Structure 1
Amino acid sequence: MTATAFPATALPFDAEEILARLTRWAACESPTFDAAAVNRMMDMAARDLALLGARIDRIPGRMGLGDCVRARFPHPAGDAAPGILVLAHLDTVHPVGTLEKLPIRREGNKCYGPGIQDMKGGTVLAVEAMRQILAAGMATHLPVTFLLTSDEEIGSPSTRDIIEAEAARNRFVLVPEPARPDGGVVTGRYAIARFNLKTTGRPSHAGARLAEGRSAIREMAKQIVAIEEMTTEDCTFSVGVIHGGQWVNCVSTTCEAEALSMAKRQEDLDAGVAKMLALRSSANDVTLEVTRGVTRPVWEPDAKGMALYDQARKIANAIGFDINPQSAGGGSDGNFTGAMGVTTLDGLGVQGALAHTLEEHVLVDSLVPRAKLLAGLITTLA
């Protein structure tokens, strides 16, 4: 199928113009736990979308987290008609100040910066797709709404209800999370559960009365080893955060940690959750508490999702590249919408590598083809 079958793929996208907007967004650092920083990023995105003619709704944050932005583009069918939801997040894992260690810079085909791949890159591509569609006076068959959220990197505890409510009003969900390493898209994601752990011991002076104390850190260390050794091919376990103690000369009273479990099938995750909740302290005089945190349900490929993928692949082929369908580890808000049964396609964003690290980058030559793919989908879905 040729590009003439998808007129939006002939729109005059320009990689340098896209990159200029992307680097401006990446320079606005927006770590999840810094609500003020996230809201500065929401201000910037809301202004860009308003300039395109979208009606902006600001949804106040809760749980101490940032706001959300909903942008609805005018359409003859009106707001009530089911349409296309572009679902993206603007929070990142990089704390304010990361720009000193990961400055925005271009080296050949790579452009580096905090959050530039995950996922400001894909969000900018979606905005640019709408910009080009509107500038060309092209009509979309369905209304288009953007929902930009503030807490995806911690499992979306404050925005899941908004995401699911908005998805239920729409026919399709497009998620511009980063493309897979080979450029493929995501048609399913694994189930994920988070856990909070706390050990409580008995304090004592570590120098004068060491034997009288019971170390919460020591017990947590034992638990971490036991938890990670539960990993199998069906279900993985890892501990990524730990805090304990206050004074080196005091036996620690408390220690807290956060764990993550991931599985390809919901039943395997459910079994993993049961194992975590069944953990017990190895010592009678130190207590262990395990509480379940945020869970992302498994999203399994279905016929509607694969039909959407087929449409995306035809568009990609017309542009001149191919995309493979993949189920992926690492959750996204697509877990929620896909599990709801709303037709969802994820991984539509930029190509790049090393997200969540100080080497995070995008491939500049992926910007135009991926923007054309999004434009092709937005203008042809009906």
Structure 2
Amino acid sequence: MTPLPELDLDADRMLEGLRRWVECESPTFDVAAVNRMMSLAAEDLAAMGATVERIDGPAGLGDCLRAAFPHPRKGEPGILIMAHLDTVHPVGTLEKLPFRRDGDRCYGPGILDMKGGTFAALQAVRALIEAGVETKLPVSVLLTCDEEIGSPGTRKLIEAEAAKHKVILVPEPAINGNGVVTGRYAIARFNLAATGRPSHAGASLKEGRSAIREMAGRILAIEDMTDDDCTFSVGVVHGGQWVNCVSTTCQAEALSMAKRQEDLDRGTDRMLALNETREDGTGFAVTLGVVRPVWEPGPGTMRLYALAEEVSATLGATISHGSSGGGSDGNFTGAIGLPTLDGLGLVGGGYHTLGEYITVESLDQRARLMAGLLVEITGEEMGS
């Protein structure tokens, strides 16, 4: 294990830099907001000496960034730090969840998922460069714009870019305290549409058939399909336009998650079997949306985790590992067999809520873990 020199990774100073990122709100569907965040990240990467390429985003979504740091072997297969800069929080969330520190906790929209971990990972690279420490493999970065909606527009980019590298590091939030992720469940999204028959809700209620009522019954039935092997939930519903009209249409989105691909496939079949069109034109339609394949850890990933354990030990810490129910772009790289270590981001809680926070001490801890990994990875030990 190569002893590292003292690295400039002061948590308080990193927190000030992270504040700029958190206060640049970037919800997935707000193209201008995401692009402002990408511009901010591009400036920071360029200031660190990276060559930065801006990639036009998918239709209706923001741009992406590809960056490479100086290295004698630049352009060869190396280490890819992969992250997303979109969040689930709409612009204006800062009014309800302002960036603030309370003891060892710091709050803000997207601070845990996953701006904090991404910022810490890049600070690890910066500190190594400033200390004159050269990694054995070249380091590149891919920052994407649509992970929070399942990466429908960037999956091909992710897989193509990852295939150019030997190792993928993903600074998504830590699990189980200080743990990292070595696998992720399979996830499928579904688009639901109920079709009713309109009528005046006051004068001729019985002549209509409410799409909202249809959807309400289907939601209960769908969520009741949840078992120990496969879960079902409905998280988005839109229906109706006028309260005095029996609704004609109602749309919703559902999510299914399973530890094994065969269980997700079984769940998908059950969902698609709900399609029904009646003679009067009313009915219910289910279409399959974005799917994240199951990622089960292969030998390369587990050797990567073993190396992370060694690095953590030199830092006086211990880490654990496991599979996570939450999806990430690590699903894609892990599923195609690339050595991938996920969950390298910060420790915290409440992500996707108005209580999202990080522990400030994890900024320093996880940045040093990332720095140690970047130095120790040769690529040779990762072969699967």
Please state which band the TM-score falls in when normalised by the shorter chain. over 0.9
Query: Which residue pairs with 2:72 in the alignment?
Result: 76
Query: Which residue pairs with 1:107 in the alignment?
Result: 102
Residue-by-residue CA offset, 1:149-207 (whole Å, 9 max, x unaligned): 00000000011011000110000000000001321000000000000010111100000
Query: By how many angstroms is 1:289 displaced?
Result: 1.2
Supply the distance in 1 between the matched residues of 2:363 and 2:100 (Cα, whole angstroms): 16
Within the candidate set 263, 268, 271, 1:268 is matched to: 263
Within the candidate set 238, 244, 258, 1:243 is matched to: 238
Query: Which residue pairs with 1:175 in the alignment?
Result: 170
Supply the distance in 1 between the matched residues of 2:95 and 2:66 (Cα, whole angstroms): 31
Matched letter for residue 45 of structure 2: L
Supply the distance in 2 between the matched residues of 1:194 and 1:357 (Cα, whole angstroms): 21
Supply the distance in 2 between the matched residues of 1:283 and 1:72 (Cα, whole angstroms): 56
Query: By how many angstroms is 1:112 displaced?
Result: 0.3
Query: By how many angstroms is 1:325 displaced?
Result: 1.1
Query: By how many angstroms is 1:78 displaced?
Result: 2.8
The answer to whether 1:192 aligns with 2:210 is no
Query: By how many angstroms is 1:7 displaced?
Result: 3.0
Residue-by-residue CA offset, 1:121-146 (whole Å, 9 max, x unaligned): 00001110011010011111111110
Supply the distance in 1 between the matched residues of 2:48 and 2:8 (Cα, whole angstroms): 17
Give the 3-state SS of the residue equivalent to 1:7 in structure 2: coil
Within the candidate set 133, 137, 160, 2:132 is matched to: 137
The gaps in structure 1 that reach 5 residues or longer are none
Q: Residues 116-135 of structure 1 correspond to what in structure 2 (within 5 A)?
A: 116-135=111-130
Residue-by-residue CA offset, 1:221-265 (whole Å, 9 max, x unaligned): 111011000000000000000000000000000000000000000
Residue-by-residue CA offset, 1:89-114 (whole Å, 9 max, x unaligned): 00000000000000110000000000
Q: How many residues align?
A: 377
Supply the distance in 1 between the matched residues of 2:305 and 2:351 (Cα, whole angstroms): 24
The answer to whether 1:94 aligns with 2:94 is no
Query: Which residue pairs with 2:11 in the alignment?
Result: 15
Give the 3-state SS of the residue equivalent to 2:358 in structure 1: strand
Query: By how many angstroms is 1:284 displaced?
Result: 5.3
CA RMSD of aligned residues (A): 1.1
Residue-by-residue CA offset, 1:25-60 (whole Å, 9 max, x unaligned): 000000000011000000000000001111110000
Query: Which residue pairs with 1:311 in the alignment?
Result: 307
Contact 1:210–1:251 at 8 Å: present in 2 too? yes
- Provide the TM-score with structure 2 as the length reference: 0.97
The answer to whether 1:217 aligns with 2:189 is no
Query: By how many angstroms is 1:365 displaced?
Result: 1.0
Supply the distance in 2 between the matched residues of 1:313 and 1:115 (Cα, whole angstroms): 27
Contact 2:56–2:62 at 8 Å: present in 1 too? yes
Query: Which residue pairs with 1:298 in the alignment?
Result: 294
Within the candidate set 12, 17, 24, 2:20 is matched to: 24
Supply the distance in 2 between the matched residues of 1:293 and 1:155 (Cα, whole angstroms): 9
The gaps in structure 2 that reach 5 residues or longer are 379-384
